[in-house]
């Protein structure tokens, strides 16, 4: 009995010594959480964020523990989910605009946890960072392609919600299309959802029936691409490469590449260098990328490539004056480009030339 006790004491001390040692060698992994608005299988917005999380895991391996919660509605549900995650994580990425208020609220109660809110602009406490990508730079490029490729001169645009992010995309695509084709018009249909394949397909069908021969989407599923393929028109993918859903319809896709940003921020938490920042990166920083350009003649492809390079080098800004607002008032004088805040960040008007009424 005495022997037994002695052995257990030895065992325990050995065990604790090992634990202490390993504890010093491998610091605790950073606990990172991601909240998604849709399912990771949407092949759009949420899929792109999830790819970013995968990239983070690949690069940091055992130094990061990732929790992912998908399909979280932008209502009181999200506040509850964010709170429960805040109890167990070091850094939380809330990846939809609608999570803004819950993120801010929860962040105020958990000052030790870092919060990263995608596409938002409010950082009232110093544990919140905001980040977004300049998708309007991507829209500028696909606008050029659309302006060249359309024969009916009608571009159909499936829009989700009238928030600055979406408005910027519409304006940027329209201006770029007009710059290469003065007769082009844009038809905008708001579906008031991010993910409803059936409704997105209905919208694409409606636009095509009304004469659109190019479909752009700012919703998350691949439905519009499949409709374009079926109806024999062109379409652009959103957030990830959608070539597979429209081998003959796909022109290119704007790809959201969040991975490097996620790595940088989580590494920052690990190193203790994380600070509250506002990131708004575009083509140059690699946050906005493109899928392979397909189904277009070589000169259009070249023009699009040139547009990418122009934006990348800063030679061209997607919003370069003269541009008027839809009501005819002057927004940008000749050669002028808008400041990031408030003009681009809070954009809430159509530019002149767009026929549709601004949604209220």
Partner 1 sequence: MNEGLIIAIIIGISIASAPLIFAAIGELVVERSGVLNLGVEGMMIVGALAGFIVEFHTESSLLAVLAALLAGMAIASIFAFLTQILLTNHVATGLALTLFGLGIAAFVGRSYTEENIELISEVHIPLISDLPVIGPLLFSYNPLVYLAFIMVFLVWWFLFKTKQGLILRAIGDNHDAAHAIGHNVIRYRVLAILFGGAMAGIGGAFLSLVQVPIWGEGMTAGRGWIALALVVFSSWQPFKVILGALIFGGITVIQLHAQGFDIRISAAYMSMLPYLATIVILVSLRIRDKNKTNRTMPNCLGRIFHSTT
Residues near partner 1 (CB under 8 A) are: 39, 41-43, 71, 156, 187-193, 195-203, 205-207, 209-210, 221-223, 226-227, 230, 244-245, 355-357, 359-360
Whichever of 228 and 266 has its CB closer to partner 1, that residue is 228
Measured in degrees and rounded to the nearest 5, phi and psi for residue 168 equal -55, -45
Residue 347 is encoded by which pair of tokens?
A: 């954009």
For the CB of residue 271, give the shortest distance to partner 1 in the complex, in Å.
35
Q: Are 147 and 181 in contact (CB under 8 A)?
A: yes
Q: Please, which residue, 41 or 111, has the CB nearer to partner 1?
A: 41
Q: Is the peptide bond before 138 cis (omega within 30 degrees of 0)?
A: no
Are residues 54 and 47 in contact, defined by beta-carbon separation less than 8 angstroms?
no
Here the tokens at position 240 are: 């990830």
Query: How many angstroms separate the CA atoms of 177 and 147, rounded?
Result: 4
Dist CA 235 CA 145 (whole Å):
11
Closest to partner 1 by CB, 226 vs 265, is 226
Q: How far is the CB of 107 from partner 1 (least distance, A)?
A: 28
In whole angstroms, the minimum distance from the beta carbon of 346 to partner 1 comes to 22
- What are the residues whose beta carbons fall under 8 Å from the beta carbon of 215, sequence distance 6 or more? 155, 156, 157, 158, 204, 207, 208, 224, 225, 227, 228, 233, 234, 235, 236
Report DSSP state, residue 211: T
DSSP 8-state assignment for residue 285: T
* Shortest Å, Cβ 47 to partner 1: 8
Q: How far is the CB of 198 from partner 1 (least distance, A)?
A: 5
Residue 156 or residue 169: which is nearer to partner 1 going by CB?
Answer: 156
The smaller minimum CB distance to partner 1, of residues 113 and 214, is found at 214
Q: How far is the CB of 221 from partner 1 (least distance, A)?
A: 6
- The CB-of-31 to partner 1 minimum distance in angstroms stands at 24
Sheet holding 288-290, edge to edge: 185-190, 154-159, 214-217, 234-239, 250-256, 288-290
For residue 129, give the H/E element and its range: strand 128-133
Closest CA to 67 of 45, 91, 47: 91
Q: Which helix (H) or strand (E) holds 176?
A: helix 164-180
Q: How far is the CB of 359 from partner 1 (least distance, A)?
A: 8
What distance in Å separates the CA atoms of residue 279 and residue 214, rounded to the nearest whole number? 32
How far from 283 is each of 207, 216, 280, 288, 303, CA to CA, in Å? 29, 19, 11, 5, 16
Closest contact distance (angstroms) between CB of 62 and partner 1 is 25
What minimum distance in Å lies between the beta carbon of 206 and partner 1? 4
Q: Give the residue with the Cβ less far from partner 1, 131 or 194.
A: 194
| Closest to partner 1 by CB, 94 or 222 | 222
Nearer to partner 1, 107 or 208 (CB): 208
41, burial (CB in 10 Å: exposed 0-12, middle 13-18, buried 19+)? exposed
* Nearer to partner 1 among residue 23 and residue 247 (C-beta): 247
What distance lies between CA 277 and its chain's CA centroid? 17
The pairing of strands 185-190 and 128-133 is unpaired
């Amino acid at each position: 009995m005495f022997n037994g006790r002695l052995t257990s004491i030895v065992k325990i001390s050995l065990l604790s010594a090992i634990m202490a040692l390993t504890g010093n060698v491998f610091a605790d992994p950073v606990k990172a959480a991601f909240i998604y608005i849709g399912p990771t299988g949407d092949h759009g917005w949420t899929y792109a964020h999830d790819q970013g999380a995968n990239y983070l895991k690949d690069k940091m391996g055992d130094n990061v523990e990732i929790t992912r919660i998908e399909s979280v509605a932008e209502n009181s549900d999200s506040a509850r989910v964010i709170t429960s995650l805040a109890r167990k994580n070091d850094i939380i990425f809330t990846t939809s605009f609608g999570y803004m208020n819950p993120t801010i609220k929860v962040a105020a109660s958990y000052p030790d946890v870092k919060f990263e809110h995608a596409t938002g602009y409010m950082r009232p406490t110093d544990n919140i960072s905001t980040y977004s990508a300049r998708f309007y730079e991507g829209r500028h490029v696909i606008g050029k392609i659309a302006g060249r490729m359309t024969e009916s001169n009608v571009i159909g645009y499936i829009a989700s919600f009238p928030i600055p992010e979406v408005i910027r995309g519409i304006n940027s695509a329209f201006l770029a299309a007009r710059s290469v084709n003065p007769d082009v018009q844009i038809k905008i249909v708001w579906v008031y959802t991010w993910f409803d394949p059936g409704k997105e397909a209905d919208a694409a069908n409606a636009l095509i029936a009304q004469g659109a021969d190019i479909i752009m989407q700012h919703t998350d599923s691949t439905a519009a691409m499949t409709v374009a393929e079926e109806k024999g028109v062109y379409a652009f993918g959103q957030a990830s490469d959608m070539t597979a859903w429209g081998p003959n319809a796909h022109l290119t896709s704007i790809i959201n590449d969040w991975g490097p940003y996620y790595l940088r921020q989580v590494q920052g938490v690990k190193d203790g260098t994380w600070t509250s920042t506002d990131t708004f990166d575009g083509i140059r920083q690699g946050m906005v990328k493109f899928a392979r350009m397909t189904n277009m003649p070589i000169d259009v492809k070249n023009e699009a490539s040139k547009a990418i390079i122009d934006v990348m080098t800063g030679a061209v800004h997607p919003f370069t004056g003269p541009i008027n607002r839809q009501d005819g008032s002057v927004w940008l004088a000749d050669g002028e480009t808008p400041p990031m805040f408030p003009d681009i960040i809070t954009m809430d008007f159509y530019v002149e030339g767009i026929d549709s009424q601004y949604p209220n």
